[in-house]
Amino acid sequence: MQESKSHLMVDVKADLRERLLLVAIKLFAEKGFAAVSMRTINTEAGTKNKSAVHYHFGNKAGILKAIFEWVGKQVKPAVQDLWLQIEHQNKDEMSVQELLLVLYAPLILIQKIPQCGHDIFKLWSKLLLDSNEDTNFMDELFQSHFLSVHKRIAQQLPEKNKEHLRYQLNHSVFGFIAGSAILDSKILENIKNARIDDEQEMLFAFIDYASGGISNTQASEGKIDILFWREYFSKHSVLFG
């Protein structure tokens, strides 16, 4: 007798471990990590073995670890191919804007993973906001990718504060993830121009926005009246500077 299809419409013909991962991604994305039990994952995956999740992953932290390992494997060949193409075409003098596209390329690939790309972004966003789990979202592949882009942009911007650059690159990635995760939110329906219908145009609008800050080598502090803001925030019990 065939197992019935799960409530979440995950392919029951998929490998059981992968099916459990796909169901976990969807549930975590919809309800948050803390709100989903291992039993619920088993039930929604349509498994007959009540201990299947425990057998494959041990605990919920093990499920998260497995999810991001699985995500990394999905895009690893394409990321490796990207760097091979860059080297093959001798693209040594890439603009900051194009290097940001290189940085976001794995994220764009993840978005397009069948069945779960958008859910992965929603899961990521929720974990960044409210999880205390010690989860390595970016494995060695992504860390290496990030550092390679950072090095190239630093070479393009020799006057740029390297610590500021790394901070800004990290937060541009967080912004990409969180911004992509809420694109289908009802809230955006009432915010004019919160999204652009053309995905490519929206991507380049974001790159324009991010590159504008990242390319800036002038410290903002010199353009701000520090004393004014210190007094203002102090008046409202906020320590500034």
Confidence of residue 92 (pLDDT cuts 50, 70, 90): confident
Q: How far apart are CA 153 and CA 93, in angstroms?
A: 10
Q: How far apart are CA 231 and CA 237, in angstroms?
A: 10
Q: Is the pLDDT of residue 85 over 80?
A: yes
CA R_g for the chain: 21
The dotted CATH code for 1-58 is: 1.10.10
Confidence of residue 7 (pLDDT cuts 50, 70, 90): very low
DSSP secondary structure letter of residue 3: P
Residue spans per domain, the chain = 1-58, 68-235
- The three-point CA angle 225-226-232 to 5° equals 95
> Half-sphere exposure of residue 184, counting CA atoms within 13 Å on the CB side?
7
Q: How far apart are CA 149 and CA 164, in angstroms?
A: 15
If you count them, how many residues does the chain have?
Answer: 241
> Half-sphere exposure of residue 78, counting CA atoms within 13 Å on the CB side?
16
What pLDDT is stored for residue 132 in this prediction?
A: 64
- pLDDT tens-place string over residues 19-68: 999 999 999 999 999 899 999 999 999 888 888 999 999 999 899 989 98
DSSP secondary structure letter of residue 195: S
Q: Is the pLDDT of residue 90 over 60?
A: yes
Q: How far apart are CA 150 and CA 170, in angstroms?
A: 10
How is residue 84 written in tokens? 């091979």
Please name the residues in contact with 185: beta carbons below 8 A apart, sequence gap of 6 or more.
none
What pLDDT is stored for residue 135 in this prediction?
A: 59
DSSP secondary structure letter of residue 190: G
- pLDDT tens-place string over residues 122-177: 999 888 877 665 556 556 678 899 999 999 999 999 999 999 999 999 999 999 99
What pLDDT is stored for residue 241 in this prediction?
A: 67
* CA proximity to 102, closest of 85, 117, 125: 85
Q: How far is CA 82 from CA 71, 89, 156, in A?
A: 17, 11, 20
Q: What's the pTM value of the predicted model, to 2 decimals? A: 0.85
What pLDDT is stored for residue 196 in this prediction?
A: 85
* CA proximity to 202, closest of 75, 125, 103, 108: 108
- Comparing 7-21, 75-89, 155-169, the range with the smallest average pLDDT is 7-21
How is residue 140 written in tokens? 């060695």
